[in-house]
Structure 1
Amino acid sequence: MSSAASSSKMLQLPLSKEDLTRINAHLRTLTPEDILAWAVESLPGLYQTTAFGLTGLVAIDMLSKITSSPPPLIFLDTLYHFQETYELVEEVRQRYDVPIHIYTPQGCATVADFEKKFGGRLWETNEDVYDFAVKVEPARRAYDALGVKAIITGRRATQGGDRASLQPLEVDETGLLKLNPLFEWTFPFVEWYIEENNVPRNKLLDQGYRSVGDWHSTSKVGEGQSERAGRWAGKEKTECGLHRNFFTMQEQLEKASEFPLSVSSPVSIRA
Protein backbone atom coordinates (compact mmCIF):
# COMPACT_ATOMS: atom_id res chain seq x y z
CA MET A 1 0.00 0.00 0.00
CA SER A 2 1.31 3.47 -0.81
CA SER A 3 2.77 5.72 1.86
CA ALA A 4 0.13 8.28 0.89
CA ALA A 5 -2.57 5.81 1.79
CA SER A 6 -0.98 4.38 4.92
CA SER A 7 -0.31 7.82 6.40
CA SER A 8 -3.80 9.14 5.74
CA LYS A 9 -6.43 9.41 8.44
CA MET A 10 -10.14 8.88 7.99
CA LEU A 11 -11.67 12.12 6.74
CA GLN A 12 -14.07 14.04 8.90
CA LEU A 13 -17.21 15.00 7.01
CA PRO A 14 -18.57 17.23 5.62
CA LEU A 15 -15.60 18.53 3.64
CA SER A 16 -15.08 22.23 3.11
CA LYS A 17 -14.36 23.56 -0.38
CA GLU A 18 -10.81 24.24 0.75
CA ASP A 19 -10.40 20.65 1.94
CA LEU A 20 -11.74 19.30 -1.34
CA THR A 21 -9.40 21.50 -3.38
CA ARG A 22 -6.42 20.39 -1.29
CA ILE A 23 -7.34 16.72 -1.53
CA ASN A 24 -7.80 16.88 -5.30
CA ALA A 25 -4.44 18.60 -5.74
CA HIS A 26 -2.87 15.65 -3.90
CA LEU A 27 -4.87 12.94 -5.69
CA ARG A 28 -3.95 14.33 -9.11
CA THR A 29 -0.32 13.39 -8.39
CA LEU A 30 -1.17 9.73 -7.68
CA THR A 31 -1.71 6.65 -9.82
CA PRO A 32 -5.20 5.08 -9.84
CA GLU A 33 -3.89 2.33 -7.54
CA ASP A 34 -2.63 4.90 -5.05
CA ILE A 35 -5.88 6.89 -5.29
CA LEU A 36 -7.79 3.71 -4.41
CA ALA A 37 -5.37 2.88 -1.60
CA TRP A 38 -5.86 6.40 -0.21
CA ALA A 39 -9.63 5.98 -0.44
CA VAL A 40 -9.63 2.68 1.46
CA GLU A 41 -7.74 4.38 4.29
CA SER A 42 -9.44 7.77 4.18
CA LEU A 43 -13.07 7.63 3.05
CA PRO A 44 -15.75 6.56 5.55
CA GLY A 45 -18.70 4.44 4.43
CA LEU A 46 -16.94 3.52 1.17
CA TYR A 47 -18.67 1.38 -1.48
CA GLN A 48 -18.24 0.91 -5.22
CA THR A 49 -21.26 1.41 -7.45
CA THR A 50 -20.82 -0.47 -10.70
CA ALA A 51 -22.66 -1.69 -13.77
CA PHE A 52 -19.58 -3.83 -14.47
CA GLY A 53 -18.27 -1.68 -17.29
CA LEU A 54 -14.58 -1.87 -18.14
CA THR A 55 -13.43 0.99 -15.92
CA GLY A 56 -15.36 -0.34 -12.94
CA LEU A 57 -13.86 -3.77 -13.52
CA VAL A 58 -10.36 -2.26 -13.54
CA ALA A 59 -11.09 -0.67 -10.15
CA ILE A 60 -12.44 -3.96 -8.78
CA ASP A 61 -9.29 -5.77 -9.89
CA MET A 62 -6.97 -3.07 -8.49
CA LEU A 63 -8.77 -3.10 -5.15
CA SER A 64 -8.44 -6.89 -4.91
CA LYS A 65 -4.66 -6.39 -5.00
CA ILE A 66 -4.61 -3.44 -2.60
CA THR A 67 -6.66 -4.81 0.29
CA SER A 68 -8.02 -8.10 1.60
CA SER A 69 -11.28 -6.30 2.45
CA PRO A 70 -12.25 -4.29 -0.65
CA PRO A 71 -15.25 -1.95 -0.53
CA PRO A 72 -18.50 -3.85 -1.18
CA LEU A 73 -20.12 -3.46 -4.60
CA ILE A 74 -23.56 -1.98 -5.33
CA PHE A 75 -25.19 -3.15 -8.56
CA LEU A 76 -28.40 -1.40 -9.64
CA ASP A 77 -30.34 -4.05 -11.51
CA THR A 78 -32.71 -2.14 -13.80
CA LEU A 79 -34.24 -5.50 -14.83
CA TYR A 80 -33.41 -4.56 -18.45
CA HIS A 81 -29.74 -5.51 -18.55
CA PHE A 82 -28.41 -7.86 -21.21
CA GLN A 83 -28.11 -11.52 -20.21
CA GLU A 84 -24.37 -11.18 -20.78
CA THR A 85 -24.25 -8.53 -18.04
CA TYR A 86 -25.94 -10.81 -15.53
CA GLU A 87 -23.47 -13.55 -16.46
CA LEU A 88 -20.61 -11.13 -15.83
CA VAL A 89 -21.96 -10.29 -12.37
CA GLU A 90 -21.72 -13.96 -11.45
CA GLU A 91 -18.24 -14.24 -12.97
CA VAL A 92 -17.05 -11.29 -10.87
CA ARG A 93 -18.68 -12.79 -7.78
CA GLN A 94 -16.72 -15.99 -8.29
CA ARG A 95 -13.43 -14.32 -9.22
CA TYR A 96 -13.24 -11.68 -6.47
CA ASP A 97 -14.00 -12.10 -2.79
CA VAL A 98 -16.19 -9.02 -2.47
CA PRO A 99 -19.84 -8.63 -1.39
CA ILE A 100 -22.28 -7.56 -4.13
CA HIS A 101 -25.44 -5.75 -3.00
CA ILE A 102 -28.09 -5.86 -5.72
CA TYR A 103 -30.96 -3.34 -5.76
CA THR A 104 -33.92 -3.43 -8.15
CA PRO A 105 -36.66 -0.80 -8.72
CA GLN A 106 -38.80 -0.42 -5.61
CA GLY A 107 -41.33 -3.23 -5.24
CA CYS A 108 -40.22 -4.90 -8.48
CA ALA A 109 -38.43 -8.22 -8.80
CA THR A 110 -39.17 -8.82 -12.48
CA VAL A 111 -39.87 -6.93 -15.71
CA ALA A 112 -43.51 -7.96 -15.34
CA ASP A 113 -43.64 -6.30 -11.91
CA PHE A 114 -42.11 -3.12 -13.29
CA GLU A 115 -44.38 -2.88 -16.32
CA LYS A 116 -47.45 -3.56 -14.21
CA LYS A 117 -46.49 -0.57 -12.08
CA PHE A 118 -45.29 1.82 -14.81
CA GLY A 119 -46.55 0.44 -18.11
CA GLY A 120 -44.53 -0.88 -21.02
CA ARG A 121 -41.55 0.88 -22.64
CA LEU A 122 -41.36 3.57 -19.96
CA TRP A 123 -37.92 4.57 -21.30
CA GLU A 124 -39.81 5.88 -24.37
CA THR A 125 -42.94 7.30 -22.77
CA ASN A 126 -41.22 9.07 -19.86
CA GLU A 127 -37.46 8.72 -19.90
CA ASP A 128 -36.83 10.80 -16.79
CA VAL A 129 -39.27 8.75 -14.73
CA TYR A 130 -37.58 5.61 -16.05
CA ASP A 131 -34.13 6.82 -14.97
CA PHE A 132 -35.45 7.80 -11.57
CA ALA A 133 -37.23 4.49 -11.03
CA VAL A 134 -34.45 2.15 -12.14
CA LYS A 135 -31.35 4.04 -11.01
CA VAL A 136 -31.89 7.06 -8.76
CA GLU A 137 -34.41 5.65 -6.28
CA PRO A 138 -32.68 2.25 -5.90
CA ALA A 139 -29.32 4.01 -5.41
CA ARG A 140 -30.67 6.27 -2.68
CA ARG A 141 -32.35 3.29 -1.02
CA ALA A 142 -29.04 1.43 -1.10
CA TYR A 143 -27.13 4.37 0.34
CA ASP A 144 -29.62 4.71 3.19
CA ALA A 145 -29.72 0.99 3.99
CA LEU A 146 -25.97 0.43 3.81
CA GLY A 147 -24.77 3.66 5.38
CA VAL A 148 -22.95 4.76 2.25
CA LYS A 149 -21.03 8.03 2.54
CA ALA A 150 -18.63 7.67 -0.38
CA ILE A 151 -18.72 5.74 -3.64
CA ILE A 152 -16.13 4.69 -6.20
CA THR A 153 -17.28 5.29 -9.78
CA GLY A 154 -16.03 4.19 -13.19
CA ARG A 155 -16.36 7.63 -14.77
CA ARG A 156 -13.53 9.04 -16.89
CA ALA A 157 -13.01 12.49 -18.42
CA THR A 158 -12.29 11.02 -21.87
CA GLN A 159 -15.84 9.65 -22.00
CA GLY A 160 -16.86 13.23 -22.75
CA GLY A 161 -20.25 14.81 -22.19
CA ASP A 162 -20.90 15.76 -18.58
CA ARG A 163 -17.77 13.83 -17.58
CA ALA A 164 -15.24 15.96 -19.44
CA SER A 165 -14.30 18.06 -16.41
CA LEU A 166 -14.13 15.27 -13.83
CA GLN A 167 -12.04 15.70 -10.70
CA PRO A 168 -10.57 12.77 -8.71
CA LEU A 169 -12.94 13.46 -5.80
CA GLU A 170 -16.29 15.22 -6.02
CA VAL A 171 -19.11 16.00 -3.59
CA ASP A 172 -22.61 15.91 -5.04
CA GLU A 173 -25.55 18.06 -4.06
CA THR A 174 -26.65 15.57 -1.35
CA GLY A 175 -23.21 15.48 0.27
CA LEU A 176 -22.23 12.10 -1.17
CA LEU A 177 -18.52 11.76 -1.98
CA LYS A 178 -17.75 10.39 -5.45
CA LEU A 179 -14.27 9.07 -6.15
CA ASN A 180 -13.20 8.77 -9.79
CA PRO A 181 -9.85 6.93 -9.55
CA LEU A 182 -9.38 6.45 -13.30
CA PHE A 183 -10.58 9.93 -14.24
CA GLU A 184 -7.53 10.54 -16.48
CA TRP A 185 -7.33 7.17 -18.22
CA THR A 186 -8.17 6.71 -21.89
CA PHE A 187 -10.21 3.82 -23.28
CA PRO A 188 -7.16 2.08 -24.85
CA PHE A 189 -5.37 2.20 -21.50
CA VAL A 190 -8.40 0.65 -19.79
CA GLU A 191 -8.49 -2.08 -22.45
CA TRP A 192 -4.76 -2.68 -21.97
CA TYR A 193 -5.20 -3.21 -18.23
CA ILE A 194 -8.11 -5.61 -18.75
CA GLU A 195 -6.09 -7.73 -21.18
CA GLU A 196 -2.84 -7.57 -19.21
CA ASN A 197 -4.51 -8.68 -15.97
CA ASN A 198 -7.03 -11.11 -17.46
CA VAL A 199 -9.94 -9.24 -15.89
CA PRO A 200 -13.44 -10.64 -16.60
CA ARG A 201 -15.29 -8.54 -19.18
CA ASN A 202 -18.70 -8.41 -20.82
CA LYS A 203 -18.88 -10.78 -23.81
CA LEU A 204 -20.77 -8.06 -25.74
CA LEU A 205 -17.52 -6.13 -26.02
CA ASP A 206 -16.37 -8.73 -28.53
CA GLN A 207 -19.46 -8.04 -30.66
CA GLY A 208 -18.99 -4.34 -31.44
CA TYR A 209 -20.22 -2.79 -28.18
CA ARG A 210 -17.97 -0.53 -26.12
CA SER A 211 -20.21 0.77 -23.31
CA VAL A 212 -23.02 -1.50 -22.14
CA GLY A 213 -26.19 -0.42 -20.35
CA ASP A 214 -29.81 -1.52 -20.73
CA TRP A 215 -30.55 -3.56 -23.86
CA HIS A 216 -33.08 -1.02 -25.14
CA SER A 217 -30.69 1.94 -25.02
CA THR A 218 -27.39 0.31 -26.04
CA SER A 219 -26.16 -0.19 -29.58
CA LYS A 220 -22.93 -1.16 -31.30
CA VAL A 221 -20.36 1.54 -32.00
CA GLY A 222 -19.13 2.32 -35.50
CA GLU A 223 -15.55 2.85 -36.58
CA GLY A 224 -14.21 6.15 -35.27
CA GLN A 225 -17.12 6.78 -32.90
CA SER A 226 -16.58 7.55 -29.22
CA GLU A 227 -16.92 4.72 -26.73
CA ARG A 228 -20.26 6.01 -25.40
CA ALA A 229 -21.75 6.74 -28.82
CA GLY A 230 -23.76 3.55 -28.48
CA ARG A 231 -25.53 4.75 -25.34
CA TRP A 232 -28.81 6.58 -26.08
CA ALA A 233 -27.78 6.87 -29.74
CA GLY A 234 -29.37 9.83 -31.53
CA LYS A 235 -30.06 11.71 -28.30
CA GLU A 236 -28.20 14.49 -26.52
CA LYS A 237 -28.39 12.47 -23.32
CA THR A 238 -25.07 11.43 -21.76
CA GLU A 239 -26.06 10.29 -18.25
CA CYS A 240 -28.68 7.88 -16.91
CA GLY A 241 -29.73 10.09 -14.01
CA LEU A 242 -27.43 8.63 -11.38
CA HIS A 243 -24.99 11.52 -11.79
CA ARG A 244 -27.51 14.28 -12.48
CA ASN A 245 -28.62 16.77 -9.83
CA PHE A 246 -30.82 14.75 -7.48
CA PHE A 247 -32.92 17.59 -6.11
CA THR A 248 -33.60 19.16 -9.51
CA MET A 249 -34.57 15.82 -10.98
CA GLN A 250 -36.86 14.93 -8.07
CA GLU A 251 -38.59 18.32 -8.13
CA GLN A 252 -39.21 18.20 -11.88
CA LEU A 253 -40.62 14.70 -11.73
CA GLU A 254 -42.86 15.40 -8.75
CA LYS A 255 -44.43 18.27 -10.69
CA ALA A 256 -44.75 16.56 -14.05
CA SER A 257 -45.11 12.85 -13.41
CA GLU A 258 -48.29 10.85 -13.40
CA PHE A 259 -46.46 8.08 -11.57
CA PRO A 260 -46.00 7.87 -7.80
CA LEU A 261 -42.35 8.58 -7.06
CA SER A 262 -40.93 7.86 -3.64
CA VAL A 263 -37.35 7.95 -2.53
CA SER A 264 -35.46 7.65 0.71
CA SER A 265 -34.17 10.84 2.27
CA PRO A 266 -30.98 12.02 0.57
CA VAL A 267 -27.93 10.45 2.16
CA SER A 268 -26.54 12.40 5.09
CA ILE A 269 -22.79 12.37 5.52
CA ARG A 270 -22.38 14.64 8.47
CA ALA A 271 -19.98 13.13 10.99
Structure 2
Amino acid sequence: MRPEASFATVAERVAALNDRYRHHAADDVLRHAISDAQVGRIAMVSSFGAESVVLLHLLAVAKPDVPVLFIDTEMLFPETLAYQQEVAEKLGLTNVQTVRASLTQLAAQDPDGTLHRRDPDACCTLRKTIPLEAALAPYDSWITGRKRFQGGARKELQFFEAEGESRIKVNPLAHWAPADVQDYIWNNNLPRHPLVAQGYPSIGCAPCTSPVKEGEDPRAGRWRGQDKEECGIHFIDGKVVRGPVKENAA
Protein backbone atom coordinates (compact mmCIF):
# COMPACT_ATOMS: atom_id res chain seq x y z
CA MET A 1 0.00 0.00 0.00
CA ARG A 2 1.44 3.38 -1.01
CA PRO A 3 0.62 6.65 0.76
CA GLU A 4 -2.40 8.51 -0.53
CA ALA A 5 -1.73 11.69 -2.48
CA SER A 6 -4.06 13.74 -0.27
CA PHE A 7 -1.11 15.62 1.19
CA ALA A 8 1.71 16.86 -1.00
CA THR A 9 4.61 16.30 1.38
CA VAL A 10 5.74 13.95 4.12
CA ALA A 11 5.70 16.86 6.56
CA GLU A 12 2.03 17.54 5.80
CA ARG A 13 1.12 13.87 6.17
CA VAL A 14 2.94 13.76 9.50
CA ALA A 15 1.07 16.82 10.76
CA ALA A 16 -2.24 15.23 9.79
CA LEU A 17 -1.33 11.91 11.43
CA ASN A 18 -0.25 13.55 14.68
CA ASP A 19 -3.51 15.48 14.76
CA ARG A 20 -5.56 12.36 14.00
CA TYR A 21 -3.93 10.14 16.64
CA ARG A 22 -3.06 12.81 19.21
CA HIS A 23 -5.15 11.26 21.98
CA HIS A 24 -4.66 7.60 21.11
CA ALA A 25 -2.83 5.04 23.23
CA ALA A 26 0.37 3.37 22.05
CA ASP A 27 -1.31 0.16 20.90
CA ASP A 28 -3.89 2.14 18.91
CA VAL A 29 -1.19 4.25 17.24
CA LEU A 30 0.71 1.13 16.26
CA ARG A 31 -2.35 -0.78 15.06
CA HIS A 32 -3.66 2.11 12.98
CA ALA A 33 -0.23 2.96 11.57
CA ILE A 34 0.07 -0.55 10.16
CA SER A 35 -3.05 -0.04 8.05
CA ASP A 36 -3.29 3.74 7.54
CA ALA A 37 -2.90 4.67 3.88
CA GLN A 38 -1.15 7.91 4.86
CA VAL A 39 1.60 5.83 6.47
CA GLY A 40 2.03 3.40 3.57
CA ARG A 41 4.25 0.32 3.56
CA ILE A 42 5.78 -0.10 6.99
CA ALA A 43 8.44 -2.09 8.87
CA MET A 44 9.65 -2.07 12.45
CA VAL A 45 13.31 -1.53 13.29
CA SER A 46 14.37 -3.16 16.55
CA SER A 47 17.67 -3.48 18.37
CA PHE A 48 16.25 -6.21 20.64
CA GLY A 49 17.73 -4.13 23.43
CA ALA A 50 16.77 -3.37 27.00
CA GLU A 51 13.19 -2.20 26.34
CA SER A 52 12.57 -3.52 22.84
CA VAL A 53 10.36 -6.38 23.97
CA VAL A 54 7.49 -3.99 24.77
CA LEU A 55 7.07 -2.72 21.22
CA LEU A 56 7.76 -6.16 19.78
CA HIS A 57 4.97 -7.60 21.93
CA LEU A 58 2.56 -4.86 20.81
CA LEU A 59 3.42 -5.71 17.21
CA ALA A 60 2.99 -9.43 17.79
CA VAL A 61 -0.50 -8.79 19.15
CA ALA A 62 -1.45 -6.44 16.31
CA LYS A 63 0.14 -8.14 13.30
CA PRO A 64 3.06 -10.54 13.84
CA ASP A 65 4.00 -10.77 10.15
CA VAL A 66 4.98 -7.10 9.82
CA PRO A 67 8.70 -7.04 8.85
CA VAL A 68 11.05 -6.49 11.80
CA LEU A 69 14.51 -5.29 10.75
CA PHE A 70 17.26 -6.29 13.20
CA ILE A 71 20.61 -4.59 12.58
CA ASP A 72 23.43 -6.98 13.43
CA THR A 73 26.55 -4.82 13.50
CA GLU A 74 28.59 -7.95 14.22
CA MET A 75 29.77 -6.13 17.33
CA LEU A 76 26.72 -6.84 19.47
CA PHE A 77 26.86 -8.57 22.84
CA PRO A 78 26.39 -12.35 22.56
CA GLU A 79 23.52 -11.90 25.01
CA THR A 80 21.73 -9.66 22.51
CA LEU A 81 21.99 -12.23 19.72
CA ALA A 82 20.62 -14.96 21.99
CA TYR A 83 17.88 -12.65 23.25
CA GLN A 84 16.82 -11.79 19.70
CA GLN A 85 16.17 -15.44 18.93
CA GLU A 86 14.40 -16.04 22.25
CA VAL A 87 12.04 -13.07 21.88
CA ALA A 88 11.20 -13.70 18.23
CA GLU A 89 10.29 -17.30 19.02
CA LYS A 90 8.35 -16.56 22.21
CA LEU A 91 6.29 -13.77 20.63
CA GLY A 92 5.69 -15.58 17.36
CA LEU A 93 7.21 -12.88 15.16
CA THR A 94 7.27 -14.46 11.72
CA ASN A 95 9.17 -11.91 9.65
CA VAL A 96 12.38 -10.90 11.46
CA GLN A 97 15.04 -9.90 8.95
CA THR A 98 18.70 -9.54 9.94
CA VAL A 99 20.46 -6.56 8.38
CA ARG A 100 24.25 -6.41 8.09
CA ALA A 101 26.90 -4.33 6.35
CA SER A 102 28.24 -5.78 3.13
CA LEU A 103 31.43 -7.82 3.39
CA THR A 104 32.97 -5.68 0.66
CA GLN A 105 32.39 -2.45 2.58
CA LEU A 106 33.63 -3.96 5.82
CA ALA A 107 36.81 -5.20 4.15
CA ALA A 108 37.43 -1.78 2.61
CA GLN A 109 36.64 0.43 5.58
CA ASP A 110 37.15 -1.68 8.71
CA PRO A 111 39.28 -4.71 7.85
CA ASP A 112 40.61 -5.18 11.40
CA GLY A 113 37.41 -4.28 13.26
CA THR A 114 38.91 -1.26 15.03
CA LEU A 115 37.12 1.59 13.27
CA HIS A 116 34.97 2.20 16.34
CA ARG A 117 38.10 3.20 18.27
CA ARG A 118 39.32 5.69 15.67
CA ASP A 119 36.03 7.08 14.42
CA PRO A 120 32.84 5.85 16.11
CA ASP A 121 30.64 7.94 13.83
CA ALA A 122 32.16 6.30 10.75
CA CYS A 123 31.70 2.88 12.35
CA CYS A 124 28.01 3.57 13.02
CA THR A 125 27.58 4.77 9.46
CA LEU A 126 29.23 1.66 8.06
CA ARG A 127 27.59 -0.91 10.27
CA LYS A 128 24.18 0.68 10.98
CA THR A 129 23.14 3.64 8.87
CA ILE A 130 24.08 2.40 5.39
CA PRO A 131 22.71 -1.15 5.85
CA LEU A 132 19.49 0.14 7.41
CA GLU A 133 18.89 2.68 4.67
CA ALA A 134 19.20 -0.09 2.09
CA ALA A 135 16.85 -2.35 4.06
CA LEU A 136 14.29 0.46 4.41
CA ALA A 137 14.29 1.30 0.71
CA PRO A 138 11.03 -0.60 -0.02
CA TYR A 139 9.16 1.08 2.85
CA ASP A 140 7.37 4.39 3.27
CA SER A 141 7.54 4.35 7.07
CA TRP A 142 9.24 2.60 9.97
CA ILE A 143 8.36 2.00 13.60
CA THR A 144 10.81 2.85 16.40
CA GLY A 145 10.79 2.37 20.16
CA ARG A 146 12.11 5.82 21.03
CA LYS A 147 10.59 7.68 23.97
CA ARG A 148 10.66 11.24 25.27
CA PHE A 149 12.02 10.26 28.67
CA GLN A 150 15.25 9.10 27.01
CA GLY A 151 16.15 12.78 26.73
CA GLY A 152 18.50 14.54 24.36
CA ALA A 153 17.17 14.72 20.83
CA ARG A 154 14.16 12.63 21.90
CA LYS A 155 12.53 14.87 24.51
CA GLU A 156 10.12 16.56 22.04
CA LEU A 157 9.24 13.34 20.25
CA GLN A 158 5.84 12.99 18.56
CA PHE A 159 3.99 9.85 17.47
CA PHE A 160 4.87 10.59 13.85
CA GLU A 161 7.98 12.28 12.44
CA ALA A 162 9.08 13.28 8.97
CA GLU A 163 12.37 11.69 8.03
CA GLY A 164 13.67 13.91 5.29
CA GLU A 165 11.25 14.24 2.39
CA SER A 166 10.67 10.57 1.70
CA ARG A 167 9.80 8.60 4.82
CA ILE A 168 7.84 8.70 8.08
CA LYS A 169 8.91 7.43 11.49
CA VAL A 170 6.30 6.11 13.89
CA ASN A 171 7.02 6.30 17.63
CA PRO A 172 4.09 4.60 19.44
CA LEU A 173 5.81 4.76 22.85
CA ALA A 174 6.81 8.43 22.58
CA HIS A 175 4.79 9.52 25.62
CA TRP A 176 5.47 6.53 27.88
CA ALA A 177 7.25 6.99 31.20
CA PRO A 178 9.88 4.56 32.53
CA ALA A 179 7.29 3.04 34.88
CA ASP A 180 4.97 2.35 31.93
CA VAL A 181 7.68 0.29 30.25
CA GLN A 182 8.49 -1.73 33.33
CA ASP A 183 4.82 -2.28 34.21
CA TYR A 184 4.10 -3.54 30.69
CA ILE A 185 6.99 -6.01 30.82
CA TRP A 186 5.90 -7.25 34.24
CA ASN A 187 2.17 -7.47 33.49
CA ASN A 188 2.75 -9.40 30.27
CA ASN A 189 5.48 -11.65 31.71
CA LEU A 190 7.91 -10.70 28.95
CA PRO A 191 11.53 -11.89 28.88
CA ARG A 192 14.07 -9.27 29.90
CA HIS A 193 17.39 -8.70 28.21
CA PRO A 194 19.92 -10.45 30.49
CA LEU A 195 22.26 -7.44 30.55
CA VAL A 196 19.68 -5.18 32.20
CA ALA A 197 20.26 -6.94 35.51
CA GLN A 198 23.97 -6.25 35.09
CA GLY A 199 23.53 -2.47 34.93
CA TYR A 200 22.86 -1.89 31.24
CA PRO A 201 19.59 0.09 30.87
CA SER A 202 20.49 0.97 27.26
CA ILE A 203 22.30 -1.59 25.13
CA GLY A 204 24.17 -1.11 21.87
CA CYS A 205 27.37 -2.58 20.51
CA ALA A 206 29.65 -4.22 23.05
CA PRO A 207 32.74 -2.01 22.49
CA CYS A 208 30.73 1.21 22.87
CA THR A 209 28.37 0.32 25.73
CA SER A 210 29.22 0.33 29.43
CA PRO A 211 27.23 -0.20 32.64
CA VAL A 212 25.40 2.77 34.13
CA LYS A 213 25.78 3.81 37.75
CA GLU A 214 22.86 4.61 40.02
CA GLY A 215 21.65 8.15 39.38
CA GLU A 216 23.16 8.40 35.90
CA ASP A 217 21.12 9.01 32.77
CA PRO A 218 20.00 5.63 31.34
CA ARG A 219 21.92 6.35 28.13
CA ALA A 220 25.10 7.46 29.91
CA GLY A 221 26.71 4.14 29.07
CA ARG A 222 26.39 4.68 25.31
CA TRP A 223 29.65 6.08 23.83
CA ARG A 224 30.73 7.13 27.31
CA GLY A 225 33.07 10.11 27.36
CA GLN A 226 32.37 11.07 23.77
CA ASP A 227 30.35 13.92 22.28
CA LYS A 228 27.90 11.42 20.86
CA GLU A 229 24.44 10.25 21.90
CA GLU A 230 22.93 8.67 18.78
CA CYS A 231 24.22 6.18 16.24
CA GLY A 232 23.06 8.23 13.25
CA ILE A 233 20.09 6.20 12.04
CA HIS A 234 17.71 8.93 13.25
CA PHE A 235 17.09 12.35 11.75
CA ILE A 236 16.06 15.53 13.57
CA ASP A 237 14.87 18.45 11.44
CA GLY A 238 16.10 16.59 8.39
CA LYS A 239 19.63 16.09 9.69
CA VAL A 240 21.48 13.00 10.89
CA VAL A 241 21.85 13.17 14.68
CA ARG A 242 24.90 11.75 16.45
CA GLY A 243 25.90 14.31 19.03
CA PRO A 244 23.77 16.29 21.49
CA VAL A 245 21.15 18.58 19.98
CA LYS A 246 21.76 22.19 21.02
CA GLU A 247 18.87 24.02 22.64
CA ASN A 248 17.44 26.84 20.52
CA ALA A 249 19.89 26.02 17.75
CA ALA A 250 19.32 27.80 14.47
TM-score by length of 1: 0.79
Aligned equivalent of 2:187: 196
- Aligned with residue 215 of structure 1, among 184, 187, 206: 206
Q: Does residue 102 of the first structure (1) align with residue 98 of the second (2)? A: yes
After superposition, the CA RMSD in angstroms is: 2.3
- Distance, in Å, in 2 between the alignment partners of 1:154 and 1:117 is 30
- Distance, in Å, in 1 between the alignment partners of 2:191 and 2:142 is 22
- Distance, in Å, in 2 between the alignment partners of 1:247 and 1:30 is 26
Aligned equivalent of 1:12: 4
TM-superposed deviation, 1:11:
4.0
Superposed counterparts of 1:34-49, under 5 Å = 34-42=28-36, 43-49=39-45
Tell me the amino acid that sits aligned with residue 189 of structure 1.
Answer: D
Tell me the amino acid that sits aligned with residue 92 of structure 2.
Answer: D
1:207–1:55 Cα change, 3 Å: closer
TM-superposed deviation, 1:115:
6.3
Tell me the amino acid that sits aligned with residue 103 of structure 2.
Answer: G
Assess if the C-alpha contact under 8 Å between 2:49 and 2:80 holds in 1. no
Aligned equivalent of 2:122: 129
- Distance, in Å, in 2 between the alignment partners of 1:141 and 1:62 is 26
- Aligned with residue 87 of structure 1, among 50, 68, 82: 82
Q: Does residue 65 of the first structure (1) align with residue 57 of the second (2)? A: no
Q: Does residue 21 of the first structure (1) align with residue 15 of the second (2)? A: yes
TM-superposed deviation, 1:117:
4.5
TM-superposed deviation, 1:52:
1.0
Assess if the C-alpha contact under 8 Å between 1:53 and 1:154 holds in 2. no
1:115–1:245 Cα change, 3 Å: farther
Tell me the amino acid that sits aligned with residue 12 of structure 1.
Answer: E
Tell me the amino acid that sits aligned with residue 135 of structure 2.
Answer: A
TM-superposed deviation, 1:159:
0.4
Unpaired segments ≥5 residues, structure 2:
241-250
Give % identity.
30
Aligned equivalent of 1:143: 136
TM-superposed deviation, 1:188:
2.2
- Distance, in Å, in 2 between the alignment partners of 1:245 and 1:17 is 13
TM-superposed deviation, 1:61:
0.5
TM-score by length of 2: 0.85
- Distance, in Å, in 1 between the alignment partners of 2:196 and 2:186 is 13
The count of corresponding residues between Structure 1 and Structure 2 is 234
Assess if the C-alpha contact under 8 Å between 2:70 and 2:98 holds in 1. yes
Match of 2:43, SS state, is strand
Unpaired segments ≥5 residues, structure 1:
1-8, 250-271
CA deviations 1:189-245 (Å, max 9, x no partner) are: 211111111122210001111000001111111111121111111223110011147
Deviation beyond 3 Å, 4+ runs, structure 1: 13-19, 113-117, 244-249
Aligned equivalent of 1:255: none
Tell me the amino acid that sits aligned with residue 95 of structure 1.
Answer: K
TM-superposed deviation, 1:246:
11
After the TM superposition, which of the residue ranges 232-241 and 72-81 deviates more from structure 2? 232-241
The structure whose residues are more often helix, as a share, is 1
